[in-house]
Amino acid sequence: MKVGGNLKEPLIINIQKCSIHDGPGIRTTVFFKGCPLECLWCHNPESQNYCMDFMYDREKCSTCGTCIEKCKSNAVYFENDSIGRTAEKCELCGECIDWCLGNARELVGKSYTVEELAKEIEKDSMFYDESGGGVTLSGGEVMCQDIDYIEKLIKRCNSKGISVAIDTCGYAPRSNYERIYDKVDLFLYDIKLADDVKHRQFTGKSNEMILDNLRYLSSVGANINIRIPLIEGVNVSENNEEVLKIINILNDVRVKYVNLLPYHDIMMNKYNKLGMEYCGSEFSKPSEEKLEEIKGLFEKGNFKVKIGG
């Protein structure tokens, strides 16, 4: 992250306009780069690292060799029927990308000042006003970014009458939530697993902090929607053991709305472009019957439930 004044400018991987799945109305969703969890099924692998990443699409590459010729650090080379890159030599200068005729090469992550990002968000104010939408700060994990930057951005949105939602996994310092909870209109809060051992197995981290922060936000009256990825082989089973445990947890907090998010694998191409191995090949989407069964369990607990974002 570059430092701008006293604020660390986080990297942004995407500013998605006209989103309808990340909160009410028409929204702009800002995806921050960097996440403390290591979910085996991660749908945005380009958001995991806090630093800039390089993506290479072999299918678009004509192997013309122009990138090799233009690379000043000699990091690019021919490799069988494609182009290879030595990451240790690569300076991520973008020179090879500028000269790539097939747009096969891409740098992921761009820094914005608060002012620059706020201006991008404000461009669609008319859509927010007419639809009851706003901006959703997502990731990666927004709550693990520089909290001074995030608070300043939220205050700027507040001053312009733009509704703010935070999409969070909950694994961030309590003090960060204390700083901004009363300036946020909605928290889209991810719950993946209730069992701590399984949570460590599939995400690399304990869920203790996640559940503690959920209880805190509930105690201060924050508006919370729960999001639960449903994955065969992780939290979906014949006896619904994990689902029932999650319902028991939610019974003790102020939550009314639950989104059930069926697993998908459309992100596989991203792993290939990043040169990363996908570790969730054994996972699968629950059947439609199982999804309806789980939906019914939440409805019996008096939760308003939707399958999908």
Q: What is the pLDDT of residues 193-243, one digit of tens each?
A: 999 999 999 999 999 999 999 999 999 999 999 999 999 989 999 999 999
Q: What is the pLDDT of residue 5?
A: 41
Q: Say yes or no: 79 and 103 in one domain.
A: yes
Q: Say yes or no: 188 and 73 in one domain.
A: no
Query: Is the predicted pLDDT of residue 2 greater than 60, yes or no?
Result: no
Q: Say yes or no: 274 and 157 in one domain.
A: yes
Instruction: Show the tokens assigned to 106.
Output: 């891409």
pTM of the model as a whole = 0.93
Q: Which amino acid is at 118?
A: A
Q: What is the pLDDT of residue 7?
A: 65
Q: Looking up tokens 């503690």, which residue turns up?
A: 212
Q: Which domain holds residue 161?
A: 2-50+111-307
Q: What is the pLDDT of residue 9?
A: 92
Q: Say yes or no: 63 and 196 in one domain.
A: no
Cα distance between residue 65 and residue 80, in whole Å: 13
Query: Is the predicted pLDDT of residue 251 greater than 70, yes or no?
Result: yes
Would you call 129 exposed, middle or buried from its count of C-beta atoms within 10 A (0-12, 13-18, 19+)? middle
Q: Which residues touch 262 (CB under 8 Å, ≥6 apart)?
A: 229, 230, 285, 286, 291, 307, 308
Q: Which residues touch 10 (CB under 8 Å, ≥6 apart)?
A: 1, 32, 33, 34, 50, 111, 145, 146, 149
- The domain spanning residue 69 has which CATH number? 3.30.70.20
State phi, psi for 124 to the nearest 5 degrees.
-110, 25
For the chain, the average pLDDT equals: 94
Q: What is the pLDDT of residue 3?
A: 36
Please count the structural domains in the chain. 2
Query: Is the predicted pLDDT of residue 6 greater than 70, yes or no?
Result: no
Per-residue pLDDT band at 279 (split at 50, 70, 90): confident
Question: How many residues are listed for the chain in this entry?
Answer: 309
Q: Say yes or no: 76 and 138 in one domain.
A: no
Q: Say yes or no: 262 and 136 in one domain.
A: yes
Per-residue pLDDT band at 267 (split at 50, 70, 90): confident
Q: Say yes or no: 209 and 237 in one domain.
A: yes
Q: Say yes or no: 59 and 197 in one domain.
A: no
- Averaged pLDDT for residues 52-75: 94
Query: Is the predicted pLDDT of residue 33 greater than 70, yes or no?
Result: yes
Which tens digits make up the pLDDT trace of 147-204? 999 999 999 999 999 999 999 999 999 999 999 999 999 999 999 999 999 999 999 9
Q: Say yes or no: 72 and 102 in one domain.
A: yes
Q: Say yes or no: 157 and 281 in one domain.
A: yes
Strands (E), the chain: 2-4, 7-9, 11-19, 27-32, 53-56, 76-79, 82-85, 105-108, 110-111, 134-138, 163-168, 186-190, 224-230, 257-262, 304-307
Q: What is the pLDDT of residue 183?
A: 98
For helices 288-300 and 241-250, what crossing angle results, to 10°? Answer: 30
Domain boundary among 71, 87, 108: 108
Q: Which amino acid is at 198?
A: K
Lowest-confidence region among 2-16, 35-49, 70-84: 2-16
- The domain spanning residue 115 has which CATH number? 3.20.20.70
Q: Say yes or no: 177 and 284 in one domain.
A: yes
Query: Is the predicted pLDDT of residue 309 greater than 80, yes or no?
Result: no
Q: What is the pLDDT of residue 218?
A: 98
Q: Say yes or no: 166 and 211 in one domain.
A: yes
Which tens digits make up the pLDDT trace of 104-140? 999 999 999 999 999 999 999 999 999 999 999 999 9
Cα distance between residue 219 and residue 159, in whole Å: 26
- Averaged pLDDT for residues 240-247: 97
First CA to last CA distance, the chain: 30
Per-residue pLDDT band at 18 (split at 50, 70, 90): very high
